[in-house]
């Protein structure tokens, strides 16, 4: 006889496994602080490279103007504007990525807790089924 509770729980577990895969279990190996810090550092590394690439693209695009006005350009002001814009966007990236990865960690943690709750429910159902089978076997003797 098919136990409907087991089928429902196993279907929910299979759906979660298919939807999230092993990504959640791999990410849950980290503490929250380490998980967020590693992802924020990856975002900042990518941001720094993108900022430098954009800076060099702007220089190459305006190379004619730079070479013609090499002596007249106020490099201190240009450097301060670049540094200020980099720092402002840097802190913005830290804030946004930190919030995003904290929420992502909490969401994945909640999903994993639900999955483990389903595992415990399934174990309980199997334990009860095993006990019933044992009772039937002993009653028949």
- CA 39, CA 73: separation in Å to the nearest integer? 39
Series of mean pLDDT values for 10-residue runs along the chain (141 residues): 73 75 72 92 96 95 92 93 96 96 91 83 79 56 55
- CA 45, CA 8: separation in Å to the nearest integer? 44
Question: What's the confidence (pLDDT) of residue 4?
Answer: 76
**Backbone conformation region of residue 105, classed left if phi is above 0, alpha if psi is from -120 to 50, else beta:** alpha
Question: What's the confidence (pLDDT) of residue 64?
Answer: 94
């Amino acid at each position: 006889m098919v136990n409907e509770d087991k089928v429902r729980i196993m279907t929910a577990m299979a759906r979660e496994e298919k939807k999230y895969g092993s990504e959640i279990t791999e990410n849950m190996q980290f503490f929250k602080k380490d998980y967020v810090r590693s992802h924020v550092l990856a975002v900042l590394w990518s941001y720094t490279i993108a900022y430098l690439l954009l800076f060099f693209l702007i220089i190459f695009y305006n190379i004619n103007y730079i070479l013609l006005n090499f002596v007249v350009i106020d490099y201190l002001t240009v450097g301060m504007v670049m540094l200020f814009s980099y720092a402002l966007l840097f802190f913005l990236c830290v804030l946004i990525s930190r919030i995003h990865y904290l929420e992502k960690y909490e969401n994945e943690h909640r999903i994993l807790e639900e999955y483990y709750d389903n595992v415990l429910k399934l174990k309980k159902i199997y334990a009860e089924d095993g006990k019933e089978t044992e009772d039937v076997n002993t009653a028949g003797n």
